[in-house]
Structure 1
Amino acid sequence: MRMPTVRLAALALVFLAVLSGCTTIGAPSVPASTATVAPYRDTLELSGKLSVTYAKDGKPEASHVRFNWEQTPERVDIAITAPPLNQTVATISVTPQEATLTESGKPPRRAADIDALSAQTLGWPLPVSGLRAWLQGYATAAGGKRFIASPAANSVTTADGWRVSYVSWQDGVPGTPPKPKRIDAERGATGQLDDVSIRIVIDAPQPE
């Protein structure tokens, strides 16, 4: 089912970041089954695919988009493209002061934060704040404890009720920290909204 462009745009908020890094030269290799992800990075670039499915009042909805993500310590810029022509349908900028969403041919929309902006455009909660950490292999678990993903510890229920699973990992150099490739996030019914499922596949090469 085709969703309005504004929904496609907000999906890109999910965007978010993936890690890269190498072990110290001369350090022993860490088995992939036990290694945790690399330290969190504030500056990075990536691209990938995002799919979301949900149901409201029993009516199923779904959307599939691509995104390009650029992040610095001061801001995040996201471009959303729609298949099959991969035309840019929206851009999103996030700073500590505000979030701005601009659809093609329409005036920008602004909100104090990205979560509020996604709620205005979608009408259902998109976990944008959480995704910034999740896509790097981190999360805040129930009870406030920090979660760090690895192939051996690949799922967590977050403090705000999302079930996050690291389904697959990037093919990397042996001995380097694993990097997320596919991440699934699910949440049960909230209010009038039925279950929500988000799938992100990071497919861009990651700089070392």
Structure 2
Amino acid sequence: MQAKKMIVAALSAALLAGCASVSQQPVADYRDSFDAVGRLSVNYRKDGNPESLTGKFNWSQTPGRIDVSLSSPMATIAKISITPESATLVQADKAPRVAKDIDTLTAQELGWSLPVSGLKDWLQGYATGADGKRFAASPARNTVTTNDGWRLRFVSWQDENAARPVPKRIDAERNASATADELAIRIVIDPQG
């Protein structure tokens, strides 16, 4: 009887360890090229007043280019193209704006800075931590502060039990500093069919 209890205890421990290892698996492998669609909400301050924006996004990334389209339920808010040489922002009824730095360009034109350099990693469940090391999220290890001051929380996953899960919801917050305003972005990535 005692041997039977020990076997049951050992099997239970093995099963629990197996379950824990699945939830500890990092996200799917990083891809240089990928597409994502989803929704986002942004809370920011403009001229000292709280502002918010809710809309949809389309993201297309290849090794030398990122294209982002932001839209509200009524219309396209902006189309953004980023290459290693420049960033271009196109808004309805406005001439295209070109700059070297997309973060500064979106802050000037949209009133908030779209953190494109971070998003290309975040949308896939990766980030560069405050310690400068590569962070790979998992359902069990889902928060990190980045080297540029963003607090990320990978809130939910497309399939939490997958061997290599893919993010579904990401909350990103940045406190106000001498160079940037307070900003909070909630991203929900739709499943790719």
Q: Distance in 2 between matches of 1:108 and 1:65?
A: 21
1:129 paired residue among 111, 114, 117: 117
1:152 paired residue among 140, 153, 159: 140
Q: Distance in 2 between matches of 1:119 and 1:57?
A: 12
Q: Could you say which structure has the larger radius of gyration? A: 2
| Aligned residue in 1 for 2:102 | 114
Where does structure 2 lack aligned partners over 5 or more consecutive residues? 1-17
2:184 paired residue among 177, 183, 197: 197
Where does structure 1 lack aligned partners over 5 or more consecutive residues? 1-27
| Aligned residue in 2 for 1:62 | 52
- Report the RMSD for the aligned CA atoms in angstroms: 2.4
- Deviation string, structure 1 residues 102-125 (Cα, Å, up to 9, x no partner): 112321100013123123224554
| Aligned residue in 2 for 1:181 | 168
1:57-96 correspondence to structure 2 within 5 Å: 59-83=49-73, 85=74, 87-96=75-84
Q: Distance in 1 between matches of 2:94 and 2:48?
A: 31
8 A Cα contact 1:29 1:176, kept in partner: no
Cα shift at 1:49: 0.5
Q: Distance in 1 between matches of 2:132 and 2:80?
A: 29
Q: Which has the higher contact order (CA 8 A, sep 6+)?
A: 1
SS in 1 for 2:24: coil
Cα shift at 1:100: 0.5
TM-score by length of 2: 0.81
TM-score by length of 1: 0.75
| Aligned residue in 1 for 2:90 | 102
8 A Cα contact 1:30 1:176, kept in partner: no
Structure having the larger proportion of residues in helix: 2
Q: Distance in 2 between matches of 1:194 and 1:115?
A: 12
- Are residues 200 and 175 of structure 1, via their aligned partners in 2, closer, same or farther at CA, if it must alter by over 3 Å? closer
- Deviation string, structure 1 residues 48-78 (Cα, Å, up to 9, x no partner): 0011112356521111010111111121112
SS in 2 for 1:144: coil
Residues paired across the two proteins, number: 176
Structure 1 residue identity aligned to 2:51: E
- Are residues 29 and 95 of structure 1, via their aligned partners in 2, closer, same or farther at CA, if it must alter by over 3 Å? farther
Structure 1 residue identity aligned to 2:189: I
Q: Distance in 1 between matches of 2:133 and 2:21?
A: 25
- Are residues 42 and 29 of structure 1, via their aligned partners in 2, closer, same or farther at CA, if it must alter by over 3 Å? farther
| Aligned residue in 2 for 1:21 | none
